[in-house]
Every structure is written in structure tokens, then in C-alpha cells.
Amino acid sequence: MLHIKQFTFNHYEVNSYILYSTEGKCPCVWVDPGMSTEAECNEAFGFIARNGLHPTHILLTHAHVDHMAGLPAATRRYDLPVSTHVDSVSLLCTASAFGSYMGFDVPNMDDLPRVLLNEGDRIKVADDEIEVRCVPGHCPGSLCFVVPGLQVVLTGDALFRGSIGRTDLPGGNFDQLIASLRSRVLTLPPSFEVLPGHGDISTISDELARNPFL
């Protein structure tokens, strides 16, 4: 069975998640490494080391720089590619410009090794798996990660508690985001927990009942 460790990083308070097993070789998957300081890097790297974890994948829900400020450090430390959608590649390649606008000092990330994810892909972690679902609308290449064994969905900036991701940035599309959520997220069982890219955890049932955008 997988466990989840949540961190909150940088001045945008991004939720970063490590999904890990304590059995066998203790594999783990890291979602949205948003560290922006040495102290934040040490916090995440220290957790992995203290628990004897072995990262196998680094996943991006989307390629806005607040969610990937620590990506160069994480991929370099663990010698792993970044797993993302093909539509996120252009944002990786312009990370420095967007980073400057958002208060981050990051390089362009076009030279990072990549694995491209598609709708329906499944990522094996110990005896569990993570299902990839495409949810464009907040920005091109946005993904959600469904973990049936834990009954959770990691929604990045597509869905928040009581809200949805903004759609006024380049590539955003409100109608597309609502359609993505209705077809690929809200169809999950009501008991599934929603682990968003910012803010508090919710459930599918709560969002169906109380989210004014839905």
C-alpha cells in the first residue's frame, strides 16, 4: 500500500506530494517538486533519505514554474527524467521568462530528459498504480493522477477545494477546463479525496455539492 507525504513549497504555497511504499525497495513517485530554496530542497531530499526511499518517477501535473521550480535539482539528484504531457514541453522551454514574471530564478528546462505521458497511461509503484488523466483548460498539458488503491486524485491546478484553476493565463480555456473536470475527474467515486496543487484537501462529493463553478 502506498503512503502520501505532502509538502508546501515556495511563495505560491504549492502542494508537492511524494507517494511511497515502505515495502521491498521502497519505491516512490514525486509529484510537482516546487522547491525554490536550499532549505526546501533539503526538507524533501531529507525525507526521502531518512525513509530509505528510491524515487522512480518525477511527475508534473502541469508546467507552470511554481510547480516545477525544484525540477532541475530533483532530476539531477536522482538521475531521472521528468514525466509530463507533450503540450507542457513549450512551458519547460520558456521556464526562465515565466519564472522571472512569477518571482522565481530558474533556468529554461528544455534540456531535461523527458518521458511523455498520455491519457490512460499507468505508472506502477510497488503493488499500486497511478492512472494518468488529461485535464486541459488551466494550461496546455495539464494532468491529473488517479490512485485507485488510495482513493485519491491529485488535481494540480485544475480543481481546488471550492474552486477551479484560473484560465486567464496563456493557453487557459474556461469551457475546456469545465469539460475536462466533468468528464475525467467528477466521474470518480464520491468518496475519492481531491489532493490539489494549492490549498486544502477535499472530496469529489464535496466539490459536486459545494463548488460554485461545478
Mind listing the pLDDT tens digit for each residue in 18-61?
999 998 899 999 999 999 999 999 999 999 999 999 999 999 99
The residue ranking higher by pLDDT, 211 or 102, is 211
For the chain, what is the total number of helices (H) and then of strands (E)? 7, 14
- Given a cut of 90, is residue 167 above it in pLDDT? yes
pLDDT band at 100 (very low <50, low <70, confident <90, very high): confident
Torsional class of 147: left (φ above 0), alpha (ψ -120 to 50), beta (otherwise): beta
**Cell numbers representing residue 174 in the block:** 474556461
Q: What is the pLDDT of residue 172?
A: 95
SS3 at position 17: strand
pTM higher than the cut 0.85 = yes
CATH number of 3-210: 3.60.15.10
Residue 83, beta-bridge partner list: 59, 115
Rounded Cα–Cα distance for residues 198 and 84 (Å): 19
pLDDT tens digits for range 115-153: 999 999 999 999 999 999 999 999 999 999 999 999 999
Rounded Cα–Cα distance for residues 200 and 187 (Å): 21
pLDDT tens digits for range 170-194: 899 999 999 999 999 999 999 999 9
